[in-house]
Copies of this chain bind each other. A is one copy, B any other.
């Protein structure tokens, strides 16, 4: 099985998510990092390349140059990972897609809906693979939940509750905090909590249930004085039939580290999953005791087992879930089908969700049509 050649844009020294992508890419041994434009500052870019063992000839300071050079090169990269701040995702992805190079892009797909639509058009036209790293979809027990729902274990769904709570933006942001500072600049991030974590929450709900809301009502709030983006969002989702969802994303909920949870209540049974204890899925059939299903344990189904590396009781975590996305991207790049991949359409839908929430909030929380024609 040929190892794939990976390039990267962004992710120079001090970047959090770039290192996460690099670990995820190599964890299962599918990719070698061989090229990069790790910074738009040439000196920093080349220093990062040296640190990362990328040869000088394939260290670029300009992503457009990199796209052209790698496309032209015999044995050029099979895919590029884009790990820059959000507002740059769109143009970088376009450059690589136009060059016929597959893209693995951090979320949200772009900073604006317009960019997302343009990017989608390019991806469709060029027929080049695009992968969006909504990494929480890589957890085995998320896969199990998705599969159980698809097979009807819960009966008709009634209530879906997804929450993504953090507290790291509780106080006014220190301008020297690199991770925080671009996220709270609306031009660079495209939104605050809604884009940074609300988009993950929506994607998780969407991935597990398969449902798309007909209408969305949302309230975006900013609790910290002077903050230009939202740091808390509440949204109500109405699905076809009698199914309702509630989404809450907050970055000012003191005492929460990365508390993403999903609770789904059906007519016949319920599921509950918590990202901070990802190897468990709590399953209750109505009228029966609560069961703790574990990754790799007695209750694990094939969907969970397919993305499990170590025996039950040996915790897997965030990096393994992320690595599963890279492993599945590798499968697709090698020509296999993979129905669990999060792709360009999902990215566009995520951007439309962010936009719908922002629109609803500007209208005082009015219900906004989201998927009328579905």
Contacts and interface: CB of A to CB of B under 8 A. Distances in A.
Interface of A: 1, 3, 16, 19-20, 22-23, 26-29, 51, 53, 158-159, 161, 166-167, 170-171, 217, 219, 221, 223, 232, 234, 236, 242, 244, 246, 248, 250, 252-259, 265-270, 272, 275-279, 282-294, 297-299, 309-320, 365
B244 A246 contact: no
B258 A311 contact: yes
12 contacts: A1-B51, A20-B310, A26-B26, A167-B286, A254-B285, A255-B284, A255-B290, A257-B311, A277-B277, A314-B317, A315-B318, A319-B320
Number of copies: 4
A317 B278 CA distance: 10
Contacts of A259: 313
A40 to B, nearest CB: 24
Nearest to A222: B242
A182 to B, nearest CB: 16
Most central of A16, A217, A283, A315 by chain B CB within 10 Å: A315
Nearest to A26: B26
Contact of A254 (B19, B26, B53, B284): B284
Nearest to A155: B254
Most central of A277, A311, A313 by chain B CB within 10 Å: A313
A213 to B, nearest CB: 14
Given A1-B51, A312-B258, A319-B310, A159 B253 contact: yes
Nearest to A53: B3
A287 B253 CA distance: 12
Given A28-B23, A250-B159, A257 B312 contact: yes
Contacts of A166: 313
Given A294-B257, A298-B289, A315 B158 contact: no
